[in-house]
Structure 1
Amino acid sequence: MQLLSEQFEMTDEERRGVKEMSTFIALFHSATFLKSRLFSISPALDLNYWSMMHLYKEENPAAAKVAIDSVLKHLWYLTEEVVVLSIFDRQLDPVLRKGIVVKLLSFPRPKTFSPGNPKFISLKFDSIITYPDQLLNFVGSRSWLLFVSLKLTEENFDWMHTEVENWKKISGYKKIGGIVRSFEVVNDCAERAVKLISDFKDVVVNFKEQEYLFQVIEDHRNHFRSFNKSSLKDL
């Protein structure tokens, strides 16, 4: 749009708006968006974006506020259980990755986990984020959940007691890293809806079956717009 802006009839204000939007996308949003599906880098990526937006407030308060408000709605997933993904983020400082492992090892590894809701972080618009060291603050005893869920044998944890540069040579780290990198990221409700349709589209190849399936999904959503008690009573 910025490249073609001279070919459109625009007011000076509209032209400034297009330039401002293009600059924001080029400097901040595009790189973050393109990397957003990489599961292992998600915690660091999102915190870095949050940190950059707080710096960007000095340049463009209005745009930064919209971006920060959006990130606030997104960071609910960043819990003790998920922060250990950063261990497998090869773009992160090795010292920090080792620090996360050291802090994780300071908590006894549970054999089982009681069912329950994760402990969600509490962030406000003016919360101070010290990126990337903030990741260490999220590590806790429930950060073992990923490793316990994979039912790994003891030798698969040997890499935790070595230096970061050796991790990629050790089978336990490579095994867990391969599993983590195979995970897919689905960010929000709108994206989940798109993924639902995409999955069904790939499974059902017959056009008439696709059409029928879409009608069933639409009918279901019309009858059950939420999963609260009042809606579920109609089941």
Structure 2
Amino acid sequence: MFHLPITSLQAHFGDIDIYLFDQLLKGRIQKGMKLLDAGCSTGRNLPYLLKAGVKVHGVDLSVDAVRQVRELASELAPTLPADNFVTADLEQLPFESDKFEVILCSAVLHFARSEAHFQGMVQELWRVLQPGGMLFCRFGTTIGLAGKLEQLEGRFHRMPHGPVWFLADEALLSELEKQLTATRLEPLKTVLVEQERSMTTWVLRK
């Protein structure tokens, strides 16, 4: 019997977020789907998706990051247009409404500049998501750490590792779901990391 080497997993899937990999295992991302990586950075989550025939788009505030993602896409999915990858704020996406079947937003929303900016980003992601589409977000929250972090003004907290993050709580997420008339695809899942940060996965159906 032939066995694949365990080391082939990294070569096949790259550094994809394990929580995003879970969505692949559940069949929620398929070849040919239009997918937006919102806050794509240099494309850590994209190599497997590009090779698998997903119609990937990406947006990031960093011009240099977008350049690197374009180079990655030209190597792994040369038929994708370079202008699938653009520089923009998530609060003002340069895409028509109802464009994407899947939107990923990983480790981005806790960098919101205000509560209005946080809500604006979520609402804009929702605008460009197709009815029936999936919004997958992972970001820092206060869930499991309420009262244990240095709170500044409003929902801003100074994190133990240094930076200031905007941290939503479950009540804010529930209120946004009502505003969007969203359906939770699965329960909120929060990982507590060394009592320093809580990273919550929020998966919605439009």
| Structure with a larger share of its residues in strand | 2
**TM-score of the pair, normalised by structure 1:** 0.24
Structure number with greater Rg is: 1
